[in-house]
A = this chain, B = another copy of it.
Amino acid sequence: MMEATDTKTKLLDVAERLFAEKGIHAISLRNIISEAEVNLAAIHYHFGSKEALLREVFSRRIKPVNEERLRRLDELLAVSGNAKTDLAALVRAFLEPVVRIRFESPNRTLIIMKLVHQLQADSGDLREVFYDLVEGVISRFMDAFGEALPHLSTGELFWRFKFMLGVLHMIMAQPPICKPGFDFDSVELDLENVTNKVVPFLVAGFEAPATEARNMDNGI
């Protein structure tokens, strides 16, 4: 039966590269098949539609990352037992699996960030692809952070967690945040270095005293 998965993965690879290079909307099926040197109909034969190809391109890269995050969270919780989980370790478990690929695989980074950005740039159905992939991770880590930071109200915790997502976003974002040549992004680049910079920053932020203690209403 099936044997020529060659064409299928060749399409995934080429599509991934082109999406990362030029942006998703800038790439047509004909761009892909011409670089992959296959027939136009092959995409619909193997995937069914352009959107289905998109889904596979993205989930192929994002799934394993989040699996690793959950695995590390489980490890942490198992070690800490009933004691309070170490906040810095929690932050690292959430960030490192993602940040690592920033320095190990620029291609994978690009394709993931393209999805994140496109996800909010459009109002398309790409959202579901992403939601399905990160929903479980977010909610499980939120719980863990809540227990590690009992001095924070739920609302405060939500915001600070959100802030962390933004910080992570900036680490993953590609160099040209600012004008090319403006050496804002040409700074140190390795996992350990960046981790050592971001973890203290975030831990300090998380542990900062809560501003409000205004009423008994829990604030959510």
Q: Which residue numbers of A lie inside 8 Å of B, CB to CB? A: 21-26, 113-114, 117-118, 120-124, 127, 131, 134-135, 138-139, 142, 155-156, 158-160, 162-163, 165-171, 173-174, 176-179, 182-184, 186-188, 193-194, 196-198, 200-209, 211-212, 219-220
Kindly list the 7 A-B residue pairs having the minimum CB-CB distance in the complex, ordered from nearest.
A166-B170, A166-B166, A204-B208, A23-B122, A117-B121, A201-B205, A131-B179
Identity of the chain B residue whose Cβ is nearest the Cβ of A165 in the assembled complex:
B170
Identity of the chain B residue whose Cβ is nearest the Cβ of A168 in the assembled complex:
B166
A11: shortest Cβ distance to chain B, in Å? Answer: 21
A215 to B173, CA, bound (A): 28
Q: Which one of B26, B170, B171, B203 lies within 8 Å of A169 (CB-CB)? A: B170
- Copies of this protein in the assembly total 2
CB-CB under 8 A for A177 and B201, given A124-B26, A158-B187: no
By the criterion CB–CB under 8 Å, are A162 and B134 in contact?
no
By the criterion CB–CB under 8 Å, are A208 and B203 in contact?
yes
By the criterion CB–CB under 8 Å, are B123 and A182 in contact?
no
Interface of A is mostly: helix
CB-CB under 8 A for A178 and B211, given A163-B201, A198-B159, A201-B160: no
Inter-chain contacts of A171 with B (CB < 8 A)? 162, 166
By the criterion CB–CB under 8 Å, are B113 and A120 in contact?
yes
By the criterion CB–CB under 8 Å, are A196 and B167 in contact?
no
A216: shortest Cβ distance to chain B, in Å? Answer: 16
By the criterion CB–CB under 8 Å, are A196 and B211 in contact?
yes
By the criterion CB–CB under 8 Å, are B155 and A162 in contact?
no
A127 to B210, CA, bound (A): 37
By the criterion CB–CB under 8 Å, are A178 and B134 in contact?
yes
Inter-chain contacts of A25 with B (CB < 8 A)? 25, 121-122
A99: shortest Cβ distance to chain B, in Å? Answer: 12
A122 to B118, CA, bound (A): 8
Interface core residue of A158, A167, A174 (most chain B CB under 10 Å): A167
